[in-house]
Amino acid sequence: MLALEPDADGFIWNQRGWTYAALGRLPEARDSFLKGLDRSSTTADQAEAQLGLAAVSRLDAQPRQALAPLRALLEHNPFDQASAPKSPFIMAAANHEAAQAALSVGDKHAAIAYLSQCAGLDPLNLECLKELAALKAKVGENRAAWYSYLSVLALDTSDGR
């Protein structure tokens, strides 16, 4: 990869992190997201860096390490300006990533809660809805699973699960 300017902002470091993650170079991705978090001047860039750190940890088979940046991203203290609410787009993705991390450590009920939050923030997210329906069925919440599958079918009539 090309060297970055010493004063590159968090957005640039985050994009480098995603590139490294896509190439499977997870240690370099983690370092880039950490620099992105350090150099971010906006809450959006900080949130993206936290999401990247969580994704890289989960991809690196360390789902418990993914939980700390996800908590930092998902928690909101209304009395603290530094924890201002994030974009609903990053929040849906963060809840989906948190569900994946929860599943990786065997916590199906937490995963259902995160997937439900994801579906509430982005009701057109088919991937989230499908995973939510399948997980509800797996834990025996058959009626709730049926309603989730009904939502999937309303959005994608070609999905004949």
pLDDT tens for 82-95 read 555 566 678 889 99
Please determine, for residue 77, whether its predicted confidence score (pLDDT) is greater than 50: no
Q: State the pLDDT at residue 157.
A: 75
In the numeric block, which tokens belong to residue 83?
Answer: 């924890």
Q: Which amino acid is at 52?
A: G
Measured CA distances, 146 to 62, 108, 116, 150, 153 (Å)? 33, 18, 14, 6, 10
**The residue to which tokens 């690196």 are assigned:** 60
**The residue to which tokens 């079918």 are assigned:** 153
Alpha-carbon span 144 to 161, nearest angstrom = 15
Please determine, for residue 30, whether its predicted confidence score (pLDDT) is greater than 80: yes
Residues 17/40, Cβ–Cβ less than 8 Å: no
Predicted TM-score (pTM) above 0.85:
no
Residues in the chain: 161
- Of residues 3 and 126, the one with the higher pLDDT is 126
Q: Please provide the DSSP assignment of 67-124 as one string.
A: HHHHHHHH---TT-GGGPPPPHHHHHHHHHHHHHHHHHTT-HHHHHHHHHHHHHH-TT
Q: What percent of the chain has pLDDT over 70?
A: 88
Kindly report, residue by residue over 116-157, the tens digit of the pLDDT.
Answer: 999 998 989 999 999 999 999 999 999 999 999 988 888 877
Q: State the pLDDT at residue 75.
A: 77
Measured CA distances, 140 to 67, 104, 109, 128, 137 (Å)? 26, 19, 11, 18, 5
Alpha-carbon span 89 to 66, nearest angstrom = 19
pLDDT category of residue 78 using cuts at 50, 70 and 90: very low
Alpha-carbon span 143 to 137, nearest angstrom = 8
DSSP state, residue 2:
P
> What is the average per-residue pLDDT within 28-43?
90
- Mean pLDDT is lowest, of 22-36, 78-92, 112-126, for 78-92
Mean pLDDT, the chain, integer: 86
